[in-house]
Structure 1
Amino acid sequence: MALISVDRERGLLNVEFQGLDKLWTLKSRLEIPLAHVRGATHDPGMAREPKGIRVGGTHFPGVITAGRFRRHGERLFWDVKNPDKAVVVELADAETYDRLVVEVDDPRATVALIERSIARG
């Protein structure tokens, strides 16, 4: 699972991976400039879509999808075990990823936090 927070002072969206997710994703955190965040949605259905080619990370269908994937030229970062808690963060002018698909504890609160933060930007 991921913890998402916003650092207004530095203008960053922080995604911190918890527990074994650090191992599965091959990352402990991501820092994305808020200027690159287009929006976020709670999208449990995203987990049923094709993942593409795994570039680095872990994929056991129906169990966990974590790490970097490429699909139709799109760069995705996944960290999902429970699709019901999946949040999709759309990125623009991304240096590394086009979309993040991460599992969070409270999807609605996370989407609201991200949307409020980019609306202020």
Structure 2
Amino acid sequence: MARVSISGGTLVVEMEGLHKAWAMRSRIEIPLANVRGATLDPGIVHGSKGIKRLGTHMPGVITAGSFQHDGDRIFWDVRNPAGAVVIELADEDFTRLVIEVADPRAVVRLIEQAARPV
């Protein structure tokens, strides 16, 4: 599971507990200017993840870490698909973050409001 916050114009994603080890990463920071948006997508876990670069993948159990899919580098941290949020990025190492959060609707709302141009 991940915790998402906005701090000083930066999207902060922090992996919690054992997810840090499974994902091989504890924190990701992205300038809000590079966040294109966020959506709820529990079905994304059923699609192809691509090639695992670094992390953990046990089908039906957990997908966590860096994956390469169709030329895109995607960060995953999902055990429970019901909490899956997809964050689209531009001009970053990752083109997408697919993370599990406790309240996906609230996280999507937070990101959409923060990333919206003024």
Q: Same fold (TM over 0.5)?
A: yes
Gaps of 5+ in 1: none
For residues 54 and 93 of structure 1, what CA distance do their matches in structure 2 show?
A: 21
Query: Given the alignment of the two structures, is residue 110 of structure 1 paired with residue 107 of structure 2, yes or no?
Result: yes
Correspondence list, 1:13-24, <5 A: 13-24=11-22
Runs of 4+ in 1 over 2 A off after TM superposition: none
Gaps of 5+ in 2: none
Q: CA deviation at 1:71?
A: 0.5
Per the alignment, residue 78 of structure 1 pairs with 76
Q: CA deviation at 1:119?
A: 1.1
Give per-residue Cα distances to partners, 1:26-80, cap 9 Å, x unaligned: 0110001111000000100111110000000000000000000001101100000
For residues 93 and 57 of structure 1, what CA distance do their matches in structure 2 show?
A: 23
Backbone CA RMSD of aligned residues: 0.8
Give the number of equivalent residue pairs: 118
Q: Which of 17, 42, 45 is residue 43 of structure 2 equivalent to?
A: 45
Per the alignment, residue 64 of structure 1 pairs with 62
Per the alignment, residue 100 of structure 1 pairs with 97
Q: CA deviation at 1:120?
A: 4.7
